[in-house]
Amino acid sequence: MRIGIDARLINETGVGRYIRNLIWQLEICDSKNEYFIYLRKEDFKSFTPKTLKWKKKLLDVAWHSILEQITVPRVLIKDRLDVAHFPYFNVPILYPRKYLLTIHDLIVDHFDTGRASTRSPVAYKVKRLGYKVANTMGINRASYITVISNTTRDELILHYRVDPNRVSVTYDALDINFLQVLKTQKPFNFYNSAYILYIGNAYPHKNLERLISAFCLILKKRKIKLVLAGDDNYFFHRLKNDVKKLGLHKDILFFGKASDSDLINLYTHAKCLVFPSLMEGFGLPNLESLACGCLPVVSDIPVFHEIWGNLLSYFNPKDIDDMASKILATISFPINVYRDRVNLAKTRIKDFSWEATALTTLSLYEQISSL
C-alpha cells in the first residue's frame, strides 16, 4: 500500500503528540508498506525516516485555509495514495480518494473562540460556518473514522449521525519522548512554595476563570500557589491581566510553554494537578501527572469517568465551592494515603499504548485500501 499521513501539525501540542507517536510506532510495526509523510518547511529537516519505504514530502501550506483546500488534494493525488490519513479535522474536501479521518474532540462545535480572533465578528462567523460545512463534509466522506475516546465516538454518532460501524476508538497514551526523559531526568523544583498545578491552554472550555475563583477560596484556608503552565496567543494574556486586577499576581504564577523536561519537574513537585475542563477528548495531562507521582483532581465530565472510573476525585466544574473543596481534600491527604491513591490510579496507564493504537490504525489502512 501507498499510505500518506498529513503530518503538518507534527510539532504542535496535543494533536502533534498523537501524530509523532503514531508515526514512531508505525515505523516499528510496519515494514512492508510505503509511507508518504507530508510536512511543513520548518519540520522537514527534523524528521528523518528510519527506512527507505518512508518518504517525507514538503507540503508547506497553512491548515484551515483556502489554499489548503486546493493544494493538498493536488499533491496527494499526484502521489497515487491507496489511503490518506488526516489526523485532524482539516480535511481537504476536494480530495476524491479514500481516507481515514481522526477526530480528537468536538470542542469547537460547542465553544466559541471568536474572542481570540483578529478578524471582525462577521468574518469570524463566516469562517466558523466554513469550518462546520467542511467538517461535516469531511466526516461524511471519510472511508473510516478514528476517535480518541468512546465519549467522542458517542458524540460524533449523535451529532453527525455517523454509522457506528465506521468509527473506532484508538486511545492516546503517554508520549514516547516524555517517558524517555522521565526515565533519565532527576527532577528539580522550580518554586520554593507549595503549589497546585494546571497544564494546558487557556481556551474557554478549559474553565480557568472558575479555577481562579476556586483558588481564591482555597487561599482563605491554605497558603499555597497556583501554577498555570501553557501557552496561547490570546487567552493567557487576558488571564494574566485578570489576575493582576484581582491582586493575585504573587499567588498565581504563569510558567508559560513547558517542554517535556519542564513538565516532569512541574508534575513531580506539585501538590496535585487540577483539570477543570468543561469538555475534553481524552485528557493526556492526567496520565503524565500520575506517571510523575502527582494526583489529578478532575472535572465531573463523561470522558474522565470513561478513562478513570472511580480512581480519581471529581468536582462539578461549574461549582467553585465544590472545586475548592475537592482540591483542598486532595492536598490534605496524609502522605501514605496520597501515595496509595497515586499508585492505584497509575495501574490504569498500562491500558493505553501507542503500539495498540498503531496496530489498529494499520488494520484500518488495510481495510480502507480493500474497499
Alpha helix stretches (DSSP H) within the chain = 15-29, 41-44, 66-78, 107-110, 121-141, 150-160, 176-184, 208-219, 235-245, 260-269, 284-291, 302-308, 320-331, 335-346, 354-369
pLDDT at 117: 47
Q: Which residues contact 116 (CB under 8 A, 6 or more apart)?
A: 203, 232, 233, 234, 235
Answer yes or no: do 194 and 276 share one domain.
Answer: yes
Residue 231 maps to which CATH number? 3.40.50.2000
pLDDT at 123: 65
Q: What is the pLDDT of residues 144-186, one digit of tens each?
A: 999 999 999 999 999 999 999 999 999 999 999 999 999 999 9
Answer yes or no: do 315 and 365 share one domain.
Answer: no
**Would you give the DSSP letter of residue 89?**
S
pTM equals 0.92
* Number of domains present in the structure of the chain: 2
Spans of the chain, pLDDT less than 70: 112-124, 127
Answer yes or no: do 87 and 43 share one domain.
Answer: yes
Answer yes or no: do 118 and 215 share one domain.
Answer: no
Answer yes or no: do 14 and 152 share one domain.
Answer: yes
- Domain of residue 239: give its range: 176-351
C-alpha cell at 281: 477528548
Answer yes or no: do 347 and 357 share one domain.
Answer: no
